[in-house]
Amino acid sequence: MRWLALLIVLVLAGCGTPGGSSGDNAKKAQQQEQSSKKIDVAKAGKVTLTVWDQEVRGGQRRQISELNAEFMRRYPNVTIKRVAKSFTDLNTTLKLAVSGDKAPDVVQANQGRPTMGQLVKGGLLRPLDAYEKAYGWADRYPKVLLDLNRFSTDAKTFGSGDLFGISQMGEIVGLFYNRTLVPDPPKTFADLEAALAAAKQKGQVPITFGNLDKWPGIHEFQAVQNRYADPSQVRDFVFAKQGASFDTPENQQAAAKLQEWAKKGYFTPNFNGVGYDPAWAKFGKGAGPFLIGGTWLLRDLTDALGSNLGFMLVPPADAGAPPRALGGESLPFAITSKSKNPDVAAAYIDFLTDPNAAKVLVQTGNLPAMPTDAKPTEPAGVQVFDAWKALGEGDGLVPYLDYSTPDFYDQITAAVQKLMAGREPAKAFTSGLQGDYEKFTGSL
């Protein structure tokens, strides 16, 4: 027993306050900002950049391997050591990796408070504003896309402040439709509802949907939410602006509408028990007229449906109104505070997002976030490109709700499952989530 007591004392003595060594972030950030500059990489000497990314699927993998190889060809003095992880793996291991002694130089840090916010709070990411000016990144993106990668140095404010990363690809969550079943795409939200009712009447599954994985429900809710809530309302909520709330009449209407659709049988039967992948695969086999999905499915769905595949944004209440859609950009590339070669890392990030990169992205079947003249050949691909352009010009991109707080993802996904199963009325849905949200905003 004496030994055990001694051991306990030893272990506790070795602990101290967890995380106690991280210092004053604001000062650190300022120092890093001042030393940032655009350099000639060829003259930087022998450099190894360790990069953690999650570009592991099909076209994503192709573009990053191609661009990495090209960068190393152009600058033979630079070696890129790539560590590829799946999205989930990256998100759960990144914090430990970046706070460790052998931190990678460049990482993909997901937008929002759960990942990027926490890394910024710990002073683990380098502010990129000096690079932004030196390389002119502001010209490459619509403002909202840069704002999504901005935080104040204490991470209390999201959506403004310093820039901590830039992304390669855009993504939109919209309506994929099957041209053989939808010859005349709906122009208004009412048209869409009529089309859903008609499809139901014919015995089709109007919207193919699988929510066993929990997160797809966010997309269904936001698809309907955009019909009622102005993009500024959702952005203010995500960025936790003063007075922002989830418990608004617009959100209640959206929740009630989504519940009504579920009740009327507009979704795949038993959707809470159907996986995401089996669901879109079924749509690819012609299961029904519509699928609410992200542009990351474009490649696979094009392979399945060919020229019968169509893509459109969820139509607005009034025909011809400015487009709105849930969407954003792929995970931003950020530079860690511990990187010994931040200037080379910045040049690398610039290279991944320049006009040449945009061309490579198009060739490999991706949707570049930055403007480009290159265009895909398939009809649905062209529709995606046009929608992206229209959303940029009309400032209609609405960010994912799960960026809002560190655990909003768990809360909203569980709540949408309850809402759509009719276990919780619309009012309880919005007020319950508002309660969770306030717990976080109260701590800011």
Partner 1 sequence: MTRSPGEPRRVAYLYLLPGFALFATFVLAPLMHAAWLSLFQWDGITPGTWVGLDNYKAVVSEADLRRAFGHSAVLLAFYAALPIAIGLLLAGAASRARIRGLTALRTVLFLPQVIALAVVAVTWRLIYQPTGWLGNFDLALPAVGLVGTWVAYGLTFVLFMAGVQKVPQSLYDAARVDGAGALREFFAVTLPALRGEIAVALTLTTIAALRNFDLVYLTTSGGPGDATTVPAFEVYQRAFRGGEVGGAAAIGVCLAAVIFVLTVGINRVADRAART
Give the β-pairing of 309-312 and 170-178: antiparallel
Q: Residues 221, 255: contact at Cβ < 8 Å?
A: yes
Q: How far is the CB of 379 from partner 1 (least distance, A)?
A: 32
Burial of 409 (0-12, 13-18, 19+ CB in 10 A): buried
Q: Which of 66, 129, 410, 438 is close enough to bind partner 1 by CB under 8 A? A: 410
Told to check if 122 binds partner 1 by CB under 8 A, we report yes
In this complex, which beta carbon is closest to partner 1, that of residue 114 or of residue 399?
A: 114
Told to check if 157 binds partner 1 by CB under 8 A, we report no
In this complex, which beta carbon is closest to partner 1, that of residue 121 or of residue 299?
A: 121
Q: Around 126, how many Cα atoms within 13 Å sit in the side-chain half-sphere?
A: 30
In this complex, which beta carbon is closest to partner 1, that of residue 228 or of residue 261?
A: 261
Q: Near partner 1 by CB under 8 A, which window of 6-14, 32-40, 281-289, 304-312?
A: 6-14
Q: Which of 417, 425, 428, 431 is close enough to bind partner 1 by CB under 8 A? A: 417
Give the β-pairing of 106-108 and 47-53: parallel
Told to check if 436 binds partner 1 by CB under 8 A, we report no
Told to check if 5 binds partner 1 by CB under 8 A, we report no
Told to check if 66 binds partner 1 by CB under 8 A, we report no
Q: Which of 92, 160, 180, 232 is close enough to bind partner 1 by CB under 8 A? A: 92
Residues between 161 and 220 that touch partner 1 (CB under 8 A): 211-214
List 292's β-bridge partners, or say none.
175
In this complex, which beta carbon is closest to partner 1, that of residue 181 or of residue 440?
A: 440
Q: How far is the CB of 252 from partner 1 (least distance, A)?
A: 19
Q: How far is the CB of 401 from partner 1 (least distance, A)?
A: 15
Q: How far is the CB of 368 from partner 1 (least distance, A)?
A: 30
Q: Which of 28, 407, 425, 438 is close enough to bind partner 1 by CB under 8 A? A: 407
**Gap between the terminal Cα atoms of the chain:** 45
Convert residues 27-46 into a mask of x (bound to partner 1 by CB under 8 A) and - (unbound): --------------------
What are the residues binding partner 1 (CB under 8 A)? 4, 7-8, 11-12, 15, 17-20, 22, 91-92, 95-96, 99, 114, 118-119, 121-122, 124, 211-214, 269-275, 278, 406-407, 409-410, 413-415, 417-418, 421, 423
